[in-house]
Amino acid sequence: MADESLMIGDAARLWAIRTYDPGFADWDAFTAWLEGDPRHLPAYEAALEDDAWAAELLAASPAPVANMVAVTHLPVRRRWFAVGGAVAAMLVAVVGGTMLLRESPEHEVMTALGEHRTIQLSDGSRIQLNGGTRISFDPDSPREVTLAQGEALFDVKHDARVPFVVVADGTRLVDIGTVFNVVRNGGAMDVAVAEGAVDYEKGADRIRLNQGDALYRADSESAPALRKIDRETIGSWHEGQLRYDDATLDQIARDLSRNTGRPIRATGGTAGMRFTGTLMLKGAPPDVFARAGPLLGVTFVEQGDGWIMSPTDVGRR
């Protein structure tokens, strides 16, 4: 349940950022997400309260604030639509130029779970974002990108004079002419290099990752572990496939969550199970899970707005 709550919180923060974008128009999907689980609205409201920009936004817009307070006493279904209207009203104020929200040139881009997006930078580099991902960068000087959470595939235009840098949780990943994939989940990080090389820099540590090398660390304080990886598996998610070489089912559950938009929790019985092979992402989530289950040796059971992944044979090791 704790993992599921964390995933709901992450999704709520992503929606908070997304609805903050003046160009946001996907209110139907936002409302559907709110309606999907009674925990979604409180999580969304908490995400708004947690962000400093949200406090400034609400303080500068008295009418929507009044609406937000009023809806806390309405029935749940009515509250969902009222909150959406309040946020929409705030965005109208932004578009109308009646208030200045940020002075920083930093640009944030995010994706909801199940959403993919490609960012073409002005220097010729390209970033492909998996679901549940948030990055930020200066559009006028995009050679440093911060990965706040999620997964991204970087196809970098190399410039030895101005190295391309990805910053994640106090760690710098410096391009040496590269295509590489980065996954960040809090302090946990997984980096895999498909072409060229990347320097992993954290404090005094510096590790060169060449083509076919991968690095994983469990949290910010853990020593990184190195491994070799099949280059064909790196970033395969953007081609509609998940390719694995001896992957844990916990990792696969997180990958399926990002790509299908449905939170998945692996039970403790999957802890010792590993998988080598390819999972196809085509179709609706139930179709993906129906194909993946026999290959992984698990059963997917829908629970709330997510799914539980359990071993088909509890005696399997």
Determine which of 28-32, 92-96, 207-211, 309-313 has the lowest per-residue pLDDT on average.
92-96
When pLDDT is cut at 50, 70 and 90, the band that residue 21 belongs to is: low
pLDDT digits (tens, 9 = 90+) for 204-222: 889 999 999 999 999 988 9
Confidence check: pLDDT of 246 > 80: yes
- pTM across the whole model: 0.66
Provide CB contacts within 8 A for 180, sequence distance 6+: 153, 154, 156, 173, 191, 192, 193, 194, 195, 196, 198, 209, 234
Cα angle, residue 240 at apex, residues 184 and 139 outer, rounded to 5°: 50
CB-based contacts of 213: which residues, under 8 Å, 6+ apart? 192, 193, 226, 227, 228, 229
Beta strands in the chain (DSSP E): 107-110, 117-120, 126-129, 134-138, 141-155, 165-168, 171-175, 179-185, 188-195, 197-202, 205-210, 213-217, 225-228, 241-248, 264-266, 274-280, 298-303, 306-311
Average pLDDT over residues 78-88: 43
Average pLDDT for 214-237: 91
What confidence tens digit (pLDDT) does each residue in 294-312 have?
A: 999 999 999 988 999 999 9
* Of residues 317, 291, 307, 316, the one with CA closest to residue 114: 307
Q: Residues of the chain with pLDDT > 90: what percent?
A: 49
Compute the average pLDDT of residues 125-145. 92
Residue predicted with more confidence, 165 or 32: 165
Mean pLDDT of the 234-253 span: 91
* Alpha helices for 153-200 (secondary structure H): none
What top-level class would CATH report for the domain 240-311?
alpha beta
For position 150, what pLDDT does the model report? 95
Mean pLDDT of all residues in 107-123: 91
* Mean pLDDT for all residues in the chain: 80
The confidence band for 292, taking pLDDT boundaries of 50, 70 and 90, is very high
Give residue 64's pLDDT.
Answer: 40
Predicted local distance difference test score (pLDDT) of residue 75: 37
Q: 278 falls in which pLDDT band (50, 70, 90)?
A: very high
Q: To 10 degrees, what angle do helices 2-20 and 40-50 make?
A: 60
Domain 107-231: which CATH number of 3.40.50.1000, 3.30.70.100, 2.60.120.1440, 3.40.50.2000:
2.60.120.1440
For residue range 122-132, what is the model confidence (pLDDT) as tens digits? 899 999 999 99
Q: Is 143's pLDDT higher than 50? A: yes
